[in-house]
Every structure is written in C-alpha cells, then in structure tokens.
Amino acid sequence: MIKRLKPIFAILLAITVLCSATVFANAEQPKLQLYFSPGIMNDTNGEIKVDVNMRNFDVAVSKSLGKVCAVTFSFEYDIQQFNIMTEDNLPKVILDDKSLVKNKADIESKIEDNSITFTYMDSTLKDNLIDKDGTLFSFVLISKNPKTLWNSFDKYPLRFKADSIGIVTYSDSYTVGKVFNVEGIDISVGGYNVAPTMVPKSVGKYVTFTVGETNVKVDDFTQETDVSPFIQAGEIMVPVRYLTENLGMSVVWNGDILTAAAYAEYKTLKIDMKTKSIFINSAKVYKDSGETVKPDELSDRIFVPVSLVKDLYPNSTITSSDNSVTIYVP
C-alpha cells in the first residue's frame, strides 16, 4: 500500500531536480551518508530494531544550504528471511528519545515486492529541520526463522536501491537546495549485530593490468584471465570481475536485469548494462565534467575505466607505465 506523497515534498524535489543539472560531487568530497544499524535480534519473537542513521552533516553540507528538511530513500531486504513490522498495512516507524525526527506523521512509506521506501518531510519547514548526525528514525525486521537465525552466524543484506536517495535542505534565506554528495551504505543483518564501524577493511594489494595481456598481477602472483584490458577514449578499460575480486569484493551477475554487483564491507558497486550506468553506494558515478562514467562490454565481459577505483577507494593510487596500470589500495 502507498500513502499519498506530500504535495510540498513533490514540489521541493521538482525544484531541486530543475536546479541540479550542473553540480556534481567528486570522489574526494566528504559524502552525507545514510546507513542502517541493526540491533541484536530478540530470540523469542525474532524482532530486530534497525536504526536509520545519517552522518557527516558538518563536512558534507555547506552552511549556505541550511538544514535538512526532507529525506527519501528505498532499500531491499531478503523477503525469504524477514518480514517488516507494519502498522495499518505500512512499515511501522519507531521514534524514541534519540530520534532526530520528532513527528511520526512527517514520515510516509510504501511497500513494493522486496523493497521499502521511506519519505520524511518537515512540512512546517521550521519545527524539525535537521542539522546534525544521528538516528533519523527506526523500523523493525522480523525473522521468519528466529531459532535458526539465533543459532547461526548467517547474515542477509540490507541494500539501498540505486539512485534512490534524495536529501533536500532549507535555509534561513528561504532557499531550497539539494545535497548532491550523498551515498547509502549497505550492510548485512543477522541474529547477532553490532554497530557498524563504517571503516572498510584494508585491502593492502597491488593489482597490475597490461593492455593486450590475458593475465593480472596481484602482488607477486600472476593470475590468468580470459580477456585483456584495452584502451578507450584515452583510458585503460579493465575487466570488472578481475578488478573487484582482487580487491576483496564478491561479484554477482543478474542476467534478468543485466546488472553486475560487487560487494565488500560498506562498499557496493552496481553496474547497470541496460542504461550503461555505474553506482557506488547507491549514488551514480560522474566524471568531473559532469558526464556519467560508463561501462563497456567485450567478449561477454564487462569492463570499467580503471579510474573508477578512485571512486571506490579515494585513498588508492593508480600508476601508469606504457600500456600497464598498477592499482594500490591501502
């Protein structure tokens, strides 16, 4: 079921979309992050309270933008493992003393297949504007097999849908703005959950690709591959599977929707071959020029520009020599 979206929020989104054509965030800019923090499951009824958190407000939102007045996002969960607690056939919103959102009536939601959408809007544009990090609100997942989950270390993903996050601000000068440098951090949830540290595991590898060669060098080990890198528009294109797996990510291909996804702790890379779009932590990846970073396909393999590594891991280094490129991720 779907509640009707507040007209004022739809208007604000329309305004910010019209004003957003030429502003893009780069990999070095701090990002305003949304992330989930699930608690430990109640071993009797299988309930898991999940906080929806926001962080990096002070460094990601310029003072000229003001305060956050609206947030919308969608996420997917494993419907084979969990139900979501509902109220009046809609996801139940939990508010407590630590919640930054104070009025439950300001949050609307919808359920669609295995995804949930929440939309928060301070309709007064003054009483509940948000200007700090913390928990926005919470919801509850309910395990369908609590005894099994409680007695295992199994984890199941909570993943933001690509390009689903919208954050709108409102300033003292009555100006509406949109936060562009936003990302959603995917996590996994099980019976035993701890607060996410938000610090990705170290990689500590040197990975070298050479144009025209069907191998990749990982530190001192050479791995045979079935495709070779090539140069396109002046940049080396590398096979995404050999790139991401050697950086410690797990890769999944969904042929039904022509989408590849690579996962690591607090890092999600999605490649949509239908639209030729790339997303990192649910946010579309752009060049400094404002053009989208695009994948390519050759010999039934997906390739991405090697520069994408800087978007995935801003602290990485990329060194080029002749037709070779070496990536180091600390």
- Does 94 lie in the same domain as 16? yes
Residue 46 inside a domain? The answer is: yes
Report how far residue 261's alpha carbon sits from residue 114's, in angstroms, rounded to the nearest whole number.
18
Residues 82 and 125 in one domain: yes
Interstrand relation of 182-185 and 32-38 (parallel, antiparallel or unpaired): parallel
Residues 330 and 315: their CA atoms lie apart, in Å, by 7
Cα 183 to Cα 186: distance, rounded to the nearest angstrom:
10
Band of pLDDT at residue 15, cut at 50, 70 and 90:
very low
Of residues 142, 165, 148, the one with CA closest to residue 94: 142
Residue 88 belongs to domain with CATH number: 2.60.40.680
CB 208 within 8 A of CB 324: yes
Indicate whether 145 belongs to any domain.
Answer: yes
Give the tens place of pLDDT for each residue, 52-100. 999 999 988 888 889 999 999 999 999 999 999 999 999 999 999 999 9
pLDDT digits (tens, 9 = 90+) for 224-261: 999 999 999 999 999 999 999 999 999 999 998 899 99
Task: Tell me, yes or no, whether 111 and 85 share the same domain.
Answer: yes
Average per-residue pLDDT in the chain?
89
Among 190, 224, 259, give the residue marking a domain's end. Answer: 190
Confidence of residue 125 (pLDDT cuts 50, 70, 90): confident
Please give the residue range of the domain that contains residue 127. Answer: 7-190
Same-domain status, 152 and 30: yes
Residue 277 counted as domain residue: yes
Statement to judge: residues 24 and 87 lie in one domain: yes
pLDDT at 50: 98
316 and 241 belong to one structural domain = yes
Are residues 31 and 156 located together in one domain of the fold? yes
Indicate if 102 and 179 belong to the same structural domain. yes
Residue 59 forms part of a structural domain? yes
CA distance 53 to 37: 7
Same domain, 186 and 215: no
144 falls within a domain: yes
Q: 177 and 219 in one domain?
A: no
Q: Are residues 22 and 135 in the same domain?
A: yes
Check whether residue 261 and residue 313 sit in a common domain: yes
Cβ-proximal residues to 5 (8 Å cutoff; 6+ apart), any chain: 108, 119
Count how many domains the chain has. Answer: 2
In a domain, 166, yes or no: yes
